[in-house]
C-alpha cells in the first residue's frame, strides 16, 4: 500500500481522529483528492507551513498544526532557558486561525513551555515586536498573509523577532519527522492553563509608541489635517485593529474607512483576492475616495504586513503604486527629509532584496546611503539589522521588498504595514504642501534618477507533482544556462544554489556573497535584469523583470523585450 493510502486509512480508523474530521476524509471521493490530502506532510521551512485547509497530512488542520508545534517545542526544550522565556502566539482573521493558535498554545503548555497568547487577531508585525518586548525565545503566527480564503499558514519566529533561521527550521523539520502525529503530540486535555498568559492592551500601546517614533516629520500630517482626506481598508483583516487609531494618533482628522471591509471575515466576501497588489481590491475604496475627495487609498493585507496604495494622477484618475515604486518613494522621502533637517544619522544604510528595483540603488548612491541586497524573504533583511546591532555600527533607514513589504525602525524584524501606512500618509501630507500627489512625486523621482519598470511572471505548477515540476524547470535552466534573453546578451550569470557567479564577457568566476538559495540571476549587458526563483509559499515559479531606460518609452520597451524573452526561456 502506498504512503498516501496508508495515511488515508489511518485517519479513517484512528480513535484519536475526531468524528467530524473522519467525515471530511470520507468525503474525498477520487484518488487525486486523496493523494492531494495525504501524500506526505507539509514541508517545514524558514517560512513555516502554508497550505489549503482540510483533513489530511498535507493540509492545514488542528492535527498538522499541533504536529508542527510539537516539533518547535522540542527545539525550545533543547535551548537553555527556552521554556521559561516562552512563546508568543498571534493569529489573523482567517477561518480557523484562532482555533489553530489555541491548539498551538495547548501543545506548548503541555510541554511545560510558557505561552503569551493574544486575545484576538493582531497584525503580524505586532507578534515580531512582542517576541522582543517580552523576551520570548520564539513566536508563532497563524496566517496565510494575502493568499485566497481556502489557505492558512503557520509562521515560526525566533528570539530576535525574525522568522526561524535555516538551521533552526531544519531542526524543527527533523523533530517533526520523528514525532507521530497522534501518539506523540499532547492532547488538548493535557494543556496547562497556568502557563498560558493572555496579553493585554499595554502591549499594543508599547507597539504603537514605537511605530509613532518612526515618523520622519511628525508635523506633516497635522499641518494639512483639515484638507487631506485618506481612505483606508484592511480587506477584512487585522489592520482594522490598529491602523485607524494609529493614523488618528498621528494627527489625521479625515480618515474614511471601507466599513464592509472593516469586518473581520476569513471568507473575504467583498474581494476575489485579499491582496493589495491587485487594483480590484480597491474597488470599494475608490467609490468612497471619489465621494469624499480623497486622492489616496491605503489597503493592508489580512495580516497587515503588506500595504498597497492607489493615488490620483494629474488627470484625477487613480493609479496603483507598485511595491517597487513605493520602496523608492519612501527611500527618497526619508533620505531627503533627513538631509534637509540636518538629521541624517551616522553610517545610514538601507536593505532590499535582489528582486527589488534597482532604482533604489541610484537613490542610495545619491544620498550617501549604503544599500544591502539580500535574498528574497524579510528574515534576511532582519539579519542585516541584527548584525549591525551586534557590531554597534550603522543606522537603519528602511528595509523593503518588491512584494509590498516595508520596515522602518528596529522594534520588529518583519515587514510592517502599520508603520508603512503611517509613513505613506505622512509622505502624502508632505507632498500635498507642494501641491503634489504621490504619483507626481514618483514621476519626479523618475525624472531625477531614470525610468524603471518592473514586472513579475508567475508560472503556476499546481497539483500533487507541482514541486517536481518546479524542480525540473530550475534544473533545466541550470543545465542549459541562456547566453541571451529576448535578444539581450547576458553579461553576468549567478546561481545562488551553487554559490557561483560568472562574468560571461571575461569568463571570470566568483562567489555570490549570499547564502545558498534556489535562485538564478541574469544581468544583461544593458543593465536590465531577470531573476528566476520558485515560490516558497505557493506552487509556482516566479520570474522577476527589472528593466530600466533613459525615458519611460525605453524602459517599457526593455521590459516587454525581457518579458517576452523570459516567457520563451520558461517554455523551452
Q: Do 528 and 455 contact (CB within 8 A), yes or no?
A: no
Crossing angle of helices 359-367 and 323-340, in 10° steps, is 10
Q: Would you state the pLDDT for residue 570?
A: 85
Sign of the four-CA dihedral 507, 510, 516, 517? negative
315-337 pLDDT, tens digit each: 999 999 999 999 999 999 999 99
Q: CATH number of 207-215+222-449: 3.20.20.70, 3.30.465.10, 3.40.120.10, 3.40.605.10?
A: 3.40.120.10
CATH 3.10.105.10 holds for 41-198: no
DSSP-derived pairing of the beta strands 488-495 and 484-485: antiparallel
b/e map of 443-462 (b: 16 or more CB within 10 Å)? bebbeebbbbbbbbbebebe
Q: Would you state the pLDDT for residue 1?
A: 38
Contacts with 259 (C-beta within 8 Å, 6 or more apart), sequence order: none
Going from the C-alpha of 445 to that of each of 131, 331, 341, 365, the distances in angstroms are 37, 11, 20, 14
All three cell numbers of 539, joined, read 506552487
Phi first, then psi: what are they for 563, rounded to 5°?
-65, -50
Q: Where are the CATH 3.40.120.10 domain residues in the chain? A: 41-198, 207-215+222-449
Q: Would you state the pLDDT for residue 479?
A: 86
Map grid coordinates 513566536 to a residue: 139
d(CA 522, CA 482): 9
Q: Where are the CATH 3.30.310.50 domain residues in the chain? A: 452-571
383-394 pLDDT, tens digit each: 999 999 999 999
pLDDT by position in tens, the chain (length 572) = 368 999 999 999 999 999 999 999 999 989 999 999 999 999 898 888 999 999 999 999 999 999 999 999 999 999 999 999 999 999 999 999 999 999 999 999 999 999 999 999 999 999 999 999 999 999 999 999 999 999 999 999 999 999 999 899 999 999 999 999 999 999 999 999 999 999 999 999 999 999 999 999 999 999 999 999 999 999 999 999 999 999 999 999 999 999 999 999 999 999 999 999 999 999 999 999 999 999 999 999 999 999 999 999 989 999 999 999 999 999 999 999 999 999 999 999 999 999 999 999 999 999 999 999 999 999 999 999 999 999 999 999 999 999 999 999 999 999 999 999 999 999 999 999 999 999 999 999 999 999 999 999 999 887 767 788 888 899 999 988 899 999 999 999 999 999 999 999 999 999 999 999 999 999 999 999 999 999 876 778 999 999 999 999 999 999 999 999 999 988 86
472-480, long-range: CB < 8 A, 24+ apart = 473/541, 473/570, 474/518, 474/520, 474/532, 474/534, 474/541, 476/572, 477/520, 477/532, 477/569, 478/520, 480/572
Q: Would you state the pLDDT for residue 159?
A: 97
Phi first, then psi: what are they for 282, rounded to 5°?
-95, 5
Helices then strands, each counted (H, E), the chain: 19, 23
pTM: 0.95
275-314 pLDDT, tens digit each: 999 999 999 999 999 999 999 999 999 999 999 999 999 8
Q: Would you state the pLDDT for residue 468?
A: 85
All three cell numbers of 81, joined, read 532557558
d(CA 426, CA 222): 9
Q: Would you state the pLDDT for residue 538?
A: 73
Annotated catalytic residue within 93, 145, 357, 421? 145
CATH number of 452-571: 3.30.310.50
Nearest to 63 by CA among 99, 39, 35: 99
Residue 145 designated active-site: yes
Amino acid at each position: 500500500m502506498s504512503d498516501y493510502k496508508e495515511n488515508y486509512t489511518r485517519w479513517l480508523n484512528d480513535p484519536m481522529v475526531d468524528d467530524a474530521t473522519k467525515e471530511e476524509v470520507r468525503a474525498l471521493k477520487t484518488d487525486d483528492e486523496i493523494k492531494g490530502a495525504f501524500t506526505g506532510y507539509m514541508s517545514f521551512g524558514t517560512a513555516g507551513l502554508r497550505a489549503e485547509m482540510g483533513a489530511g497530512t498535507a493540509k492545514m488542520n488542528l492535527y498538522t498544526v499541533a504536529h508542527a508545534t510539537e516539533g518547535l517545542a522540542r527545539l525550545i526544550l533543547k535551548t537553555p532557558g527556552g521554556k521559561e522565556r516562552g512563546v508568543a502566539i498571534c493569529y489573523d482573521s482567517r477561518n480557523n486561525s484562532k482555533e489553530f493558535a489555541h491548539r498551538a498554545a495547548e501543545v506548548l503548555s503541555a510541554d511545560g513551555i510558557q505561552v503569551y497568547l493574544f486575545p484576538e487577531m493582531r497584525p503580524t508585525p505586532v507578534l515580531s515586536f512582542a517576541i522582543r518586548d517580552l523576551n520570548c525565545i520564539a513566536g508563532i503566527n497563524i496566517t496565510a498573509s494575502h493568499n485566497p480564503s481556502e489557505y492558512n499558514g503557520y509562521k515560526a519566529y525566533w528570539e530576535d523577532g525574525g522568522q526561524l533561521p535555516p538551521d533552526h527550521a531544519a531542526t524543527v523539520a527533523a523533530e517533526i519527522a520523528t514525532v507521530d502525529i497522534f501518539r506523540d503530540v499532547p492532547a488538548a486535555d493535557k494543556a496547562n492553563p497556568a502557563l498560558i498568559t493572555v496579553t493585554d492592551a499595554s502591549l499594543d500601546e508599547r507597539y504603537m509608541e514605537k511605530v509613532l517614533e518612526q515618523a520622519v516629520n511628525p508635523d506633516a500630517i497635522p499641518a494639512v489635517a483639515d484638507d487631506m482626506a485618506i481612505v483606508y481598508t484592511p480587506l477584512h483583516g487585522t489592520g482594522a485593529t490598529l491602523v485607524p487609531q494609529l493614523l488618528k494618533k498621528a494627527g489625521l482628522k479625515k480618515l474614511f474607512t471601507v466599513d464592509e471591509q472593516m469586518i473581520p471575515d476569513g471568507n473575504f466576501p467583498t474581494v476575489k483576492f485579499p491582496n493589495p497588489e491587485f487594483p480590484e481590491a480597491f474597488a470599494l475604496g475608490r467609490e468612497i475616495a471619489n465621494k469624499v475627495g480623497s486622492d489616496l487609498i491605503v489597503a493592508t493585507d489580512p495580516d497587515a504586513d503588506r500595504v498597497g496604495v492607489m493615488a490620483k494622477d494629474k488627470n484625477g484618475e487613480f493609479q496603483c503604486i507598485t511595491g517597487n515604486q513605493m520602496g523608492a518613494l519612501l527611500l527618497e522621502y526619508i533620505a531627503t527629509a533627513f538631509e534637509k533637517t540636518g538629521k541624517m544619522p551616522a553610517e545610514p544604510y538601507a536593505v532590499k532584496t535582489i528582486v527589488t528595483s534597482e532604482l533604489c540603488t541610484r537613490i542610495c548612491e545619491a544620498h550617501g546611503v549604503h544599500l544591502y541586497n539580500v535574498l528574497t524573504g524579510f528574515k534576511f533583511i532582519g539579519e542585516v539589522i541584527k548584525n549591525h546591532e551586534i557590531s554597534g555600527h550603522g543606522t537603519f533607514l528602511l528595509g523593503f521588498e518588491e512584494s509590498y513589504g516595508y520596515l522602518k525602525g528596529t522594534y520588529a524584524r518583519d515587514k510592517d504595514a502599520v508603520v508603512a501606512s503611517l509613513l505613506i500618509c505622512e509622505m502624502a501630507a508632505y507632498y500635498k504642501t507642494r501641491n503634489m500627489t504621490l504619483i507626481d512625486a514618483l514621476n519626479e523621482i523618475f525624472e531625477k534618477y531614470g525610468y524603471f519598470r518592473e514586472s513579475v511572471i508567475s508560472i503556476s505548477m499546481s497539483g500533487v507533482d507541482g514541486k517536481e515540476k518546479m524542480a525540473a524547470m530550475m534544473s533545466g535552466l541550470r543545465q542549459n544556462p541562456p547566453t541571451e534573453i529576448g535578444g539581450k546578451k547576458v553579461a553576468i550569470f549567478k546561481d545562488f544554489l551553487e554559490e557561483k557567479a560568472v562574468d560571461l564577457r571575461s569568463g571570470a568566476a566568483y562567489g555570490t556573497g549570499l547564502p545558498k538559495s534556489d535562485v538564478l540571476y541574469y544581468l544583461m549587458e544593458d543593465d536590465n535584469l531577470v531573476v528566476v526563483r520558485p515560490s516558497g509559499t505557493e506552487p509556482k515559479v516566479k520570474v522577476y523583470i527589472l528593466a530600466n531606460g533613459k525615458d519611460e518609452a525605453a524602459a517599457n520597451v526593455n521590459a516587454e523585450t525581457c518579458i517576452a524573452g523570459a516567457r520563451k526561456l520558461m517554455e523551452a
